[in-house]
Structure 1
Amino acid sequence: MKYTFKAKGHPNVTSKHRSTFEVTQDTDMSLAGDCIVGVSSKASLNEIPQQMREAIQNENTQIHVILETENAHDEIIGYGHPSLTLDHPTDMVCRRSDYTCSRTLMIRADKAAVDLNPDLVEDLKSGKTLKVTLIVQST
């Protein structure tokens, strides 16, 4: 299953967070939001198709998040979990840890904001469009 949406970069993207990265529907961000890599997202967790949501709520499901700008891309792999509610109205957070809350899309991710492709981060700092693709594979 595949789901794609757009977001935008922002001059305050620092991509320094060591355990998460986030895409939000909020239109602005501060420098303190060092996990945020995309703003003005055209999708929220609530809008992920039902069949995909059900798959994400299984701990054996592998989730691939592909982040792309015109000059760079990166891929992050993590896992679903039964306690993911996927109901936050604006934020979508991918976590290295096992922590879950309404904002969590996936856990046990293999990368956080600090690990992302530097060319991708530079594009995001300059406000370029971010294409986000979620690929969900049940095992």
Structure 2
Amino acid sequence: MEYALTAKGHYNVTSKHRTTFEVTQDIDIGLRADCIVGLASNASLKDIPPTMKETIRNENVKIKIILETENATDTITGYGHPALTLDHPTDIVCRKSDYTCSRTLMIGADKAAVDLNSDLIDDLRSGKTLQVTIIVKTR
């Protein structure tokens, strides 16, 4: 199962957060928003197809996120969980921890914002387009 969306970078993308990264439909951020890597997204968790959401709500599901700009790519892997509501109207958050809320797409991620490819972050800081691909596979 695969779902793709696009977002944009922003000059305030710092990518310093150690436990999460986020893509949002918000159009502006300040420097304190150190987990946000993509803004003005054309989709959020509420837009993921229902069959994919059902699959993600299984803790035996592996989720792969591919982040791509014109000059760089990075791949993040994590897991689903039955407590994920996947219904936030503006945000998608991937977490290294096992914390869940309406903004959480996956837990147990192997990377957070601070771990992402520096060329990818440079592209995002210069406002380039971000392609986000969510791939869901059962373990």
TM (normalized to structure 1)? 0.99
Aligned to 2:135: 135
Root-mean-square deviation (Å): 0.4
Aligned to 1:85: 85
Aligned mates of 1:100, 1:12 — CA distance in 2: 26
Equivalent residues in 2 for 1:40-51 (5 A)?
Answer: 40-51=40-51
Aligned to 1:38: 38
* Aligned-residue offset at 1:108: 0.2
* Aligned-residue offset at 1:138: 1.3
Aligned to 1:55: 55
Partner-residue secondary structure (3-state), 2:122: helix
Aligned to 1:124: 124
% identical aligned pairs: 71
Aligned mates of 1:138, 1:46 — CA distance in 2: 21
Q: Which residue identity does 1:53 align to in structure 2?
A: K
TM (normalized to structure 2)? 0.99
Aligned mates of 1:25, 1:2 — CA distance in 2: 20
Q: What is the CA deviation profile of residues 5-38 of structure 1, one whole-angstrom value per residue up to 9, with x for unaligned ones?
A: 1000000000000000000000001100000000
Q: Which residue identity does 1:75 align to in structure 2?
A: T
Partner-residue secondary structure (3-state), 1:124: helix
Runs of 4+ in 1 over 2 A off after TM superposition: none
Aligned to 2:108: 108
How many positions carry a matched residue from both structures? 139
1:24 is aligned to 2:24: yes
Unaligned 5+ runs, structure 1: none
Aligned to 2:71: 71
Q: What is the CA deviation profile of residues 108-137 of structure 1, one whole-angstrom value per residue up to 9, with x for unaligned ones?
A: 000000000000000000000000000000
Q: Which residue identity does 2:15 align to in structure 1?
A: S
